[in-house]
A = this chain, B = another copy of it.
Amino acid sequence: MALIVQKYGGTSVGDVERIKNVARRALATQRAGNDVVVVVSAMSGETNRLLKLTQAVTERPDEREQDVVAATGEQVTIGLTALAIQGHGGKARSFTGPQVRILTDSAFSKARIRSIDSGKLRQALERGEIAVVAGFQGEDEEGNITTLGRGGSDTTAVAVAAAIEADACEIYTDVDGVYTTDPNVVPQARKLERISYEEMLELAGAGAKVLQIRSVEFAMKYNVPLWVKSSFTQDPGTLVCPEDPSMEHVVVSGIAYDRNEAKVSVRGVTDKPGVAARLFKPLADANIVVDLIIQNVGQGGYADMSFTVGKTDLPRALEIIRGVSTELGARTVETDDQIAKVSIVGVGMRNHAGVAAKAFDVLAGAGINIEMISTSEIKVSIVIAAKFVELAVRELHSAFGLDKG
């Protein structure tokens, strides 16, 4: 007998029939002798509908109130899911984030989980109930409703799994696992049987949408075995787990891409200590995440700095950077939102030099110019013009031997 947390995303609970399907899956898991906690998202389209309502009321909605509205999406799903389980003869009880008590900080619309009280969930399991928990939401110390931001339900699921010391956390989605790259771009993409937390983290950070990055961090931190599965098939899916020695035989595990970043270049900054801090601290203070940063030392004590931010953050980032760069005496601030980031990820890279060099070679061969480069121990990220992204992904996927059969 195991304790299993199952998370079903918006597509998996998209209508009443699908919710009944989720109920059957959860019950089958319970009847196989397991304790089951189900975490659900809002029905697909609901969160967008609710956010649009808030934007129809006022142009810049206050995030506290926006969270109050957005959190109702998951609240509807937990009630319906509990009812569906009961309708199939099972016992179930729903819990909102505040009811569980999922305590978060007060960063409305992107709150972070501080702690989870597992008491009520354990009581429900002891009564033989399937506990149905609302993803994406919690409450802060003052009892305000908070949401965790897009994809936050994955984080809820893993955090709940960690809190109740679950044996596994299963993330059900509309794909049946983690692929070597996006099968929409590369039909030859292969499904991975397993992948390490570190690789999954890098893939998620590099734009693969299958799992939310914070949920992988949580899983790694608390060592929660994470399964990515489809709610529409019986496929075993992909296991995200600690690295095991056999994995190192594979140099590259996957290729990810991200079209949602924009590049900002600040040219002619005086090259002295503290300049980077003066540029990036105000961005951090404004909660703008900076991804790649490149500094080129120029001539005569001047440097050029380039960095990428999410496209939606670009207007705010520019406003801040224009203010700071004037103080720093920078020559120009330029932006480019027609870029894409392609990333090659694999734990095997640690022991294999030359992955980056090979990637550059492949792209050069395809006539693709490289604009920025960033490498980590198990990842190489390359910024290129957006129009080349599919070509680059296909070429790299093939060159690193990831194409199937």
* Chain A residues bordering chain B, tally (CB within 8 A): 39
Is B76 a contact partner of A53 (Cβ separation < 8 A)?
yes
Mark A91-116 against chain B: 1 for CB-CB distance below 8 A, else 0. 01110101100000000000000000
Contacting pair B72 A58 (CB below 8 A): no
Cβ B16 vs Cβ A53 within 8 A: yes
Say whether, besides A87-B57, A145-B96, A78 and B82 are in contact (CB < 8 Å): no
Roughly how many angstroms separate A68 CA and B61 CA in the complex, as a whole number? Answer: 25
The residues of B that contact A96 with a CB separation of less than 8 Å are 68, 145
Could you tell me which A residues sit within 8 Å of B by CB distance? 16, 19-20, 50, 53-54, 56-59, 61-62, 64-69, 71-72, 75-76, 78-80, 82-84, 86-87, 92-94, 96, 98-99, 143-145
Residues from chain B with Cβ under 8 Å of A84 in the complex: 57-58
Which residues on B sit within 8 Å (CB–CB) of A82? 62, 65, 68
Q: Which residues of B contact A50 (CB under 8 A)?
A: 76
**Contacts of A86 on B, CB cut-off 8 Å?**
58, 62, 65
Q: Output the least CB separation between A32 and chain B (Å).
A: 23
Extra 7 A-B pairs, beta carbons < 8 Å, given A54-B83, A72-B72:
A16-B53, A58-B87, A65-B82, A65-B92, A65-B93, A66-B83, A75-B75
* Inter-chain contact A83/B71, CB cutoff 8 Å: no
Contact check, A80 vs B69: say whether CB atoms are below 8 A apart.
yes
Contacts of A61 in B (CB 8 A): 83
Partner of A99, one of B19, B76, B78, B143: B143
Copies of the polypeptide in the assembly: 2
Contact B53 A80 (CB under 8 A): yes
State whether A57 touches B94 (Cβ < 8 A): no
Kindly provide the distance from the CB of A99 to the nearest chain B CB, expressed in whole angstroms.
Answer: 6
Inter-chain contact A57/B19, CB cutoff 8 Å: yes
- Measured in the bound complex, the distance between the Cα atoms of B20 and A57 in whole Å is 7
Q: Is B99 a contact partner of A57 (Cβ separation < 8 A)?
A: no
B-chain residues with CB within 8 Å of residue A57 when the two chains form the complex: 16, 19-20, 80, 83-84, 87
B54 touches A68 (CB 8 A): no
Task: List the B residue with the shortest CB-CB distance to A73.
Answer: B72
**Alpha-carbon distance A56/B18, docked complex (angstroms):** 12
Question: Do residues B72 and A75 form an inter-chain contact, with CB atoms below 8 A?
Answer: yes
B59 with A87: CB separation less than 8 A? yes
Nearest-Cβ distance from residue A76 to partner chain B, whole angstroms: 5
A-B contact pairs, 21 of them (CB 8 A): A19-B57, A20-B57, A50-B76, A54-B79, A54-B83, A57-B80, A57-B87, A58-B86, A59-B87, A62-B82, A65-B93, A67-B79, A68-B75, A68-B79, A68-B94, A69-B83, A71-B75, A72-B72, A72-B75, A99-B143, A99-B144
- Give chain B nearest CB distance to A21 CB in angstroms: 12
Query: Contacts A53-B16, A54-B83, A57-B84 given: A69-B62 contact, CB under 8 Å?
Result: no
Whose C-beta in chain B lies nearest to the C-beta of A84?
Answer: B57
Q: In the complex, what distance in Å separates the CA atom of A57 from the CA atom of B19?
A: 8
A59 contacts across to B, CB distance below 8 A = 87
- 10 A-B pairs with least C-beta separation: A58-B87, A69-B79, A68-B79, A72-B72, A57-B83, A65-B79, A65-B82, A16-B56, A58-B83, A65-B83
